[in-house]
Structure 1
Amino acid sequence: MSTLALKGPYWVTARQYRRTLWLVGAAVAVSLAVVGGLRIWDAQTPDRYFEDGQRYAPDDNRGYETLRIALEYGGVWLLLLPLLVGAFVAGPLVAREFESGTYKLSLTQSVSPAAWLRSKVLTASAVALAAALALIGVYRIGWNRVSDNYNFHWSESGPYEATGIVLLAYVLLGVAVGALVGQLIRRTLVAMAVTGGAVGLALLTLGAFRWDFLAVRTVTGPAVENASAVATPDNGMFVGQGLLGASGQRLPGWFCTPDAPPGAACRPDEPVTAQYLDYHPESHFWPTQLIESGIVLALAALAAYAAFRVLRARHP
């Protein structure tokens, strides 16, 4: 066991922030207790079944409704996890050391600047990844029950990040960006704010383009006047729907109706021959996760490389 014990600057980092470590462990334990307790409460009320064998929770199942609410908030907190990790690394872990000058003490203990920063980055990464993995597992315990509900589709923001591996990549990005910004700014609160904003911008930007990584699939159906003749198959993600003309080209707008407002986008004079629907199948979930994770990890590697280059330039 002694060989597994933390040594040197790693032990110092863990010792210095032991209260934070206990807080992280308590947060995971409380999350597991809440979700596990709600699943047990939900199981006390039997489900009802449709004639085709599908089941649904009855309206008087308060455990199920409470579980849904808890997971909605839980998904938001998991989205914020990379921002919180990055802000902590940038502020208390790095910037405050420079702001107070306490980093100089570590450098007098036969510890090189690179080893000092490496201990902080690796310790923060290990703790953040372990906590993220545990929270993903807890979330999936509840999500498996409510995944067929509105706002819990596999493609929705929140469930998408909390049920795959991309959240782990964003956590590492938060650590790397925090290590870089903490050195550049060296003011605790400002570094925390800048890091949170940078990681949040990455989340929003990649979230806006993630469904452009893979080509959509298309299904077609007959042209039924003012009605949809096609539906998203096999739990897929709806992307878009429209009309096809006699030439096979997609037409703008939808069917014209007598009561359509002036200037409304309607089909041109070309006859409508069919309807189409674009969607992402559920099989696109993991490829999209891997592509996005690769992009985020590349950004994290660049930020980590820049952090050590800055450290080397200022403390050769």
Structure 2
Amino acid sequence: MSTLALKGPHWVTVRQYRRTLWLTGALVVLTLAVIGGLRLWDAQTPDVYVQDGYQVPSIDNRGYATLRWAMEYFSMGVVLLPLLVGAFVAGPLIARELESGTYKLSLTQSISPARWLGSKLLTSTAAAVGATLLLMAVYALGWVRVGGSSELHWADRGSYEATGTALVAYVLLAVAVGALVGLLIRRTLVAMAVTGGVVGLVLLILGARRWDFLPVTTITGPADAESTVLTMPEHGLLMEQGLISASGERWPGWFCSSEPVPAIDGSCLPQEPIASQYLDYHPGSHFWPTQLIETGIVLALAALALFAAFRVLRARHP
């Protein structure tokens, strides 16, 4: 068993931040207790049957309602997780030691600067990824019950990250960016703030553009005063819906009355001959291709940040 024990700078890092590791473990256990307890509470009230053999939660099932509420907040916490990881790596793990000069003690123990940084990043990565995977497992425990309901669609923020590979990639990016910013700034609070801003910006940009990675699926149909509005297939993500003029121009919206066509803001546009209606959506089958594309982009950014971090370290501590 002694061969499995941590040694050298890895042991020092774990020993130095053991309270943070214990706190992280306690958070995972608490989350499991809450979601698991709510699942048990939810199971106490049987579902009710509706037509075509479907079952839905009873309106008296307070356990289900509370589980949905908890999962919505869990989703928000999942999105914030990479920011917290990056801030910790940039601040307490890297910048604080450079700011106080305590890293010099490690360098006097026949440890190279690269090994010093590598040990810290390897240890923090293992802890962060392990905690992330456990939280994703807990999320899945609640997701199998409430997934697909309002605010918990597979494409919603939080649900999307926690049910695929993207969240792990963002955590790895946060570790790499935190190391780079900590080495560059060398001031604890400033490094934490900058890292949170950088990781948050990446989350916002990719979150806004992820549904442009793959082309939408379009369905069309006739459009007149008697036509019904096209309906999206089950579990799809609606992107846009509207009318197509005789000239081929798209008008998002539907008829305000029997003649005019509505604009995006709901007002009616001047009458124009309408040829058909359209509906753009992403089917559920686009989930994993989108996840893998986004994961690849984030991992590439993480690799660049990690490479830059070691270059900065070598330049300042040859």
Whether 2:136 is the aligned partner of 1:136: answer yes
Partner of 2:196: 196
Query: How many Å separate the matches in 2 of 1:59 and 1:104?
Result: 63
State how 1:1-316 maps to structure 2 within 5 Å: 1-225=1-225, 228-246=228-246, 248-251=248-251, 254-257=254-257, 264-266=267-269, 268-270=271-273, 272-316=274-318
**1:38 CA displacement:** 0.3
| Aligned equivalents of 2:262, 2:296: Cα separation in 1 | 47
2:35 partner letter: V
Q: Secondary structure at the match of 1:52?
A: helix
Q: TM-score, normalised by structure 1?
A: 0.95
Q: Say which SS state the counterpart of residue 278 (structure 2) adopts.
A: strand
Native 8 Å contact 1:176 1:301 kept in 2: yes
Are 1:246 and 1:273, in contact at CA under 8 Å, matched by a contact in 2?
yes
Q: Could you tell me which amino acid in structure 1 is paired with residue 170 of structure 2?
A: Y
Provide the rounded CA distance (Å) in 2 between the counterparts of 1:265 and 1:297: 46
- Following the alignment from structure 1 to structure 2, what is the Cα–Cα distance between the partners of residues 226 and 140? 44
Question: What TM-score does the superposition give when structure 2 sets the normalisation length?
Answer: 0.94
Give the residue type in structure 2 aligned to 1:264.
S
TM-superposed CA distance for 1:246, in Å, is 3.9
CA contact (8 A) 1:255 1:266 kept: no
Q: Distance in 1 between matches of 2:306 and 2:268?
A: 50
Q: Secondary structure at the match of 2:139?
A: helix
Change (3 A) 1:313 1:201: same
Distance 1:127 1:314 in 2: 28
Cα displacement (A) at 1:250: 3.1
TM-aligned CA distance change 1:137 to 1:267, over 3 Å: farther
Task: Tell me the amino acid that sits aligned with residue 310 of structure 1.
Answer: V
Query: 1:148: Cα distance to partner?
Result: 2.6
By how many angstroms is 1:53 displaced?
1.4
Alignment CA distance shift 1:261-1:54 (3 Å): closer
SS in 1 for 2:287: helix
The 1:37/1:224 distance shift into structure 2, 3 A limit, reads farther
Which deviations, in whole Å up to 9, do the C-alpha atoms of 1:233-274 show, x marking residues without a partner?
03110000011234555346532437999993536422x232
Question: Which runs of 5 or more structure 1 residues have no equivalent in the other structure?
Answer: none
Aligned pair count?
Answer: 315
- 8 Å contact 1:255–1:267 — kept in the other structure? no
Q: What is the distance in 1 between the residues matched to 2:243 and 2:228?
A: 10
Structure-2 separation of matches of 1:250 and 1:120: 55
Mapped contact 1:254–1:266 kept (Cα < 8 A): no
Matching residue's letter, 1:167: L
| Percent identical residues | 67
Instruction: Letter of the 2:311 partner, please give it.
Output: R
Does structure 1 conserve the Cα–Cα contact (< 8 Å) formed by 2:260 and 2:271?
A: no
What is the rounded CA distance, in whole Å, between the counterparts of 1:267 and 1:294 in structure 2?
46
